Amino acid sequence: MTIAGLDLTQEQILALLTTGRMELTGQSMIGSNYAFLAILDNGVRQIQAVYKPLKGESPLWDFPNRTLGKRETAAFVLSNWLGWNLVPPTVLRKDALLGSGSLQVYIEHDPNHHYFSLKPAEIDRLLPAALFDLVVNNADRKGSHLLFDAAGRLWLIDHGVCFNTEDKLRTVIWNFAGEQIPRALLADLTRACAVLSRDAELFNFLHPYLTIAEIKALAGRIQSILANPIFPFPPSDRRAYPYPPL
């Protein structure tokens, strides 16, 4: 995994996120949950990261309390396992400064380069992102949750409201509705489906962050996609777009 501006391997980044000396340098004032910018330092290298403490999460009626950071981490674990590498390296760190929470490497990006400013050729690159949101049941894919680093690589952030057992897909990316899902991506999902049963490899990777019911629901969504490999159309019986969209 290559991140523009960071001459580090994924393993080095994850080690810094997990054990590096942590210093808070700023706080985001946007959104209902606490989020901080942090520096992680091991005495040789340092990185910036976004820190979301579990105790800083606002309660939601449809998600268990203090689980959003776990879902952020689960999204990285799944993306990484599939080989899609769409989510920046993320860990759940229990000894963080304000208590247990998710730490995700910060992606330097142009905030004016988002879904609503994309050119047609860039929209075509969002197909794996649209499939990932379908798989994880993303309830809040806003236009600003798509980042492009200095090298032009696409990253997906903000997965705190994913993996619900009920259908909650809300996204701005409905561009591929009715289109066939590529075989290569279906092959990755087939591999995942085979190891999501209890005590299997991917189940064990996800279980620290998701309940058994949520992992079963994930497996069920993948099975449905494999049985009917077509991108769905926006539902008419519930809200299909996030608010605000950006």
Provide the pLDDT for residue 164: 98
Beta bridge partner(s), residue 220: none
Q: Which residues contact 180 (CB under 8 A, 6 or more apart)?
A: 229, 230
Nearest to 133 by CA among 114, 159, 153: 159
pLDDT tens, residue by residue, 156-188: 999 999 999 999 999 999 999 999 999 999 999
53: in domain: yes
Which pLDDT score, from 0 to 100, does residue 135 have? 98
Residue 61 domain-assigned?
A: yes
Integer Cα distance of 51 and 140 in angstroms = 19
103 in a structural domain: yes
- Mean pLDDT, all residues of the chain: 95
pTM over cut 0.85: yes
CA distance 24 to 63: 27
Residue ranges for the chain with pLDDT beneath 50:
none
Distance CA 53, CA 199 (A): 28
Share of the chain above pLDDT 70, in %: 100
Whether 234 is covered by a domain: the verdict is no
Phi, psi (rounded to 5 degrees) for 115: -55, -45
| Phi and psi torsions of 144, nearest 5° | -85, 0
DSSP 8-state symbol, 231: P
Domain-embedded: residue 242: no
Residue 131 belongs to domain spanning: 10-227
Q: Does a structural domain hold residue 235? A: no
What's the pLDDT score for residue 30?
75
Instruction: List Cβ<8 Å contacts ≥24 apart for 204-211.
Output: 205/77, 205/81, 206/74, 206/77, 206/78, 208/70, 208/92, 209/70, 209/71, 209/73, 209/74, 209/77, 209/92, 210/70, 210/71, 210/74, 210/163
| Number of domains comprising the chain | 1
